[in-house]
């Protein structure tokens, strides 16, 4: 492996768990810099995304579901961005110094809440558009999940009408922009006045506050014959009510993790899915981002040592994403 002088240091700072638990289990530790295999790259991490699912992983619920045996210290962080510090011997696509972003769920090498992360080269990409390092860091999982939902699960076509439920959240605000780029008419159900303002700024044809009144009335006005499709990122009674505005023969998609799981009205197809993470889809995402102005909304940025506060902030109303800045 080709190594930079930086990577020749042997240890790094990381936020790691010695056991699964609450936010207080997240502690700064000095850990070995991960070694890379032939098909991996080492990234000097400058920012990490804080995923809505990170608390579940922190509590040990992922390993429960997947039946995997965790290794401690356990470093969280599915999403991140930074600079290539070293490339494995079979990697030709990257060179030292490239600015990249990437995602790897429950990475056995350790996640992005660290100064260095080793990921499969296939899961990394040059940063598209004019995104800042924080924007790139929070982007991959939610954007790939949005795109998987829109194209693969819903098969969204240009000219169709789409409801995005949770349109000011991580997946939602990206899905809204991607759907506009795919030629859809977008009805955005966002959270709060600030969420509605963001959704309008990002190009929603109509945006309403899903925590306010008259969502269904606004939906009927927007699509009198019902919407063709819906992408749902938050569950609950209000979600079920809003979904009654999907037309017969329409389609609903929601990523696994949305709770309570939404039900579909009669004669509407519904599918739970996982976002995909593969080179062709990452290229597609980058191309869509590069085709015009694209905003990745980072609501709050915390320092690495403030990871516990960042997790607590996930429970408070916020727009878009939360990031960690790593020096």
- Distance CA(193)–CA(322), nearest Å, equals 19
Does residue 145 belong to the site contacting ligand NAP (CB under 6 A)? yes
Question: Which residue of 2, 257, 295, 312 would you call a contact of ligand NAP, by CB under 6 A?
Answer: 257
DSSP 3-state assignment of 270?
strand
Helix and strand numbers, DSSP H then E, in the chain? 11, 17
- Answer yes or no: are the C-beta atoms of 88 and 38 closer than 8 Å: yes
Nearer to ligand NAP, 73 or 257 (CB): 257
- Answer yes or no: are the C-beta atoms of 273 and 253 closer than 8 Å: yes
184 cis-preceded (ω within 30 degrees of 0): no
Nearer to ligand NAP, 31 or 310 (CB): 310
Question: Which residue of 77, 80, 128, 169 would you call a contact of ligand NAP, by CB under 6 A?
Answer: 169
Nearer to ligand NAP, 248 or 317 (CB): 317
Does residue 258 belong to the site contacting ligand NAP (CB under 6 A)? yes
| Binding segment toward ligand NAP, per CB under 6 A, in 80-88, 91-99, 230-238, 299-307 | 230-238
Does residue 49 belong to the site contacting ligand NAP (CB under 6 A)? no
Nearer to ligand NAP, 7 or 288 (CB): 288
Contact partners, residue 132, CB within 8 Å, separation at least 6:
298
Nearest distance from C-beta of residue 114 to ligand NAP, angstroms:
21
- Answer yes or no: are the C-beta atoms of 149 and 255 closer than 8 Å: yes
| Binding segment toward ligand NAP, per CB under 6 A, in 15-23, 42-50, 115-123, 168-176 | 168-176
Does residue 152 belong to the site contacting ligand NAP (CB under 6 A)? no
């Amino acid at each position: 492996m080709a190594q930079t002088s930086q990577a020749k240091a042997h240890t790094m700072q990381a936020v790691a768990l010695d056991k699964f638990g609450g936010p207080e289990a997240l502690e700064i530790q000095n850990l070995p810099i991960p070694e890379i295999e032939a098909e991996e790259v080492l990234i000097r991490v400058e920012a990490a995304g804080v995923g809505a699912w990170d608390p579940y992983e922190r509590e040990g619920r992922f390993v429960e579901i997947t039946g995997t045996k965790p290794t401690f210290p356990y470093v969280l962080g599915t999403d991140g961005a930074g600079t290539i510090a070293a490339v494995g011997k079979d990697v030709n696509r990257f060179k030292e110094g490239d600015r990249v972003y990437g995602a790897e769920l429950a990475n056995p090498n350790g996640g992005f809440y660290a100064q260095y992360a080793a990921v499969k080269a296939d899961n990394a990409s040059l940063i598209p558009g004019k995104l800042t390092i924080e924007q790139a860091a929070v982007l991959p999982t939610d954007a790939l999940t949005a795109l998987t939902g829109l194209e693969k699960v819903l098969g969204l076509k240009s000219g169709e009408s789409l409801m995005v439920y949770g349109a000011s959240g991580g997946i939602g605000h990206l899905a809204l922009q991607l759907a506009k780029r795919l030629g859809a008419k977008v009805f955005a159900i966002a959270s709060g006045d600030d969420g509605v303002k963001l959704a309008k700024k990002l190009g929603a044809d109509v945006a309403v506050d899903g925590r306010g009144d008259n969502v269904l009335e606004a939906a009927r006005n927007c699509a009198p014959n019902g919407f063709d499709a819906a992408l749902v990122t938050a569950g609950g009674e209000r979600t079920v009510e809003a979904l009654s505005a999907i037309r017969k023969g329409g389609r609903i998609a929601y990523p696994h993790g949305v709770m309570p799981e939404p039900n579909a009205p009669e004669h509407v197809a519904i599918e739970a899915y996982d976002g995909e993470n593969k080179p062709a889809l990452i290229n597609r995402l980058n191309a869509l981002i590069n085709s015009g102005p694209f905003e990745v909304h980072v609501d709050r940025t915390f320092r690495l040592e403030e990871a516990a506060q960042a997790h607590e902030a996930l429970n408070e109303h916020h727009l878009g994403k939360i990031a960690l800045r790593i020096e």
